[in-house]
Amino acid sequence: MDPLSTEDRQTLLDLAREAIVVAVRTGKVPVREINTPALLEPRGCFVTIKCDGAVRGCIGNLNSDRPLYQVVQQMAASAAIRDPRFYPMKEEDLANFALEISLLSPLTRISSPEEVEVGTHGLYLEKNFARGVLLPQVAIEQGWSTETFLNQTALKAGLKRDDWKEGADIYVFTADVFGEAP
């Protein structure tokens, strides 16, 4: 998948912001028709909402069969009102937030932890019925080593920290990350 143009990125940020405002006020996702070819491609993404530099909501989809712009709208609305880690955003929360969008590459299964490149790869881990995902920028922001990144992904999946070492399927992906200035 080709990187998006500056204009396409701004369109997605505008759509995400609009979706958040409308979702907070009405509980719905606005309907838009976009005909830009790059934004019509099916693609996975995460939308992160930050307030004062701290994560306020983050929801995503690793892959999708829907157009990218629609996935961005849905994930933005969900990050605002459905992230179970936070209370749903309220009208007063709309005054001060910044957005970050992560466009994901397809998942690639790896056979060894040595294949993980901290700062380049995000992680998706599956073991039994547990699943966890962390975006590439999380490891950089936290200053994690490869092992810590794997441990934290296992914990995010609801597993023990070293459960990734045996019997887990580990996948990597990259992300094209862009956002608004905080």
The yes-or-no verdict on residue 182 having pLDDT over 70 is no
- pLDDT averaged over the chain? 95
The label of the residue with tokens 């990050």 reads 79
Q: What distance, in Å, lies between the first and last C-alpha atoms of the chain?
A: 28
Write down the domain spans for the chain. Answer: 6-104, 108-174
Is residue 103 within 8 A of residue 4, CB to CB? The reply is yes
* pLDDT attached to residue 134: 96
Displacement of CA 167 from its chain's centroid (Å): 25
Q: Which pLDDT value is given to residue 51?
A: 92
Please name the amino acid found at residue 53.
Answer: G
68: which 2 tokens? 């990218």
Model confidence pLDDT, tens digit, residues 39-57 = 999 999 999 999 988 999 9
Long-range interactions of 144-149: CB distance < 8 A, separation 24+: 144/118, 145/118, 146/113, 146/114, 146/116, 146/118, 147/113, 149/116, 149/118, 149/123
Q: pTM for this structure?
A: 0.92
Question: 62-116 pLDDT, tens per residue?
Answer: 999 999 999 999 999 999 999 999 999 999 999 999 999 999 999 999 999 999 9
Q: CATH fold of 108-174, please?
A: Dna Ligase; domain 1 (3.30.1490)
Q: What is the CATH number of domain 6-104?
A: 3.30.700.20
Amino acid at residue number 153:
T
The confidence band for 181, taking pLDDT boundaries of 50, 70 and 90, is confident
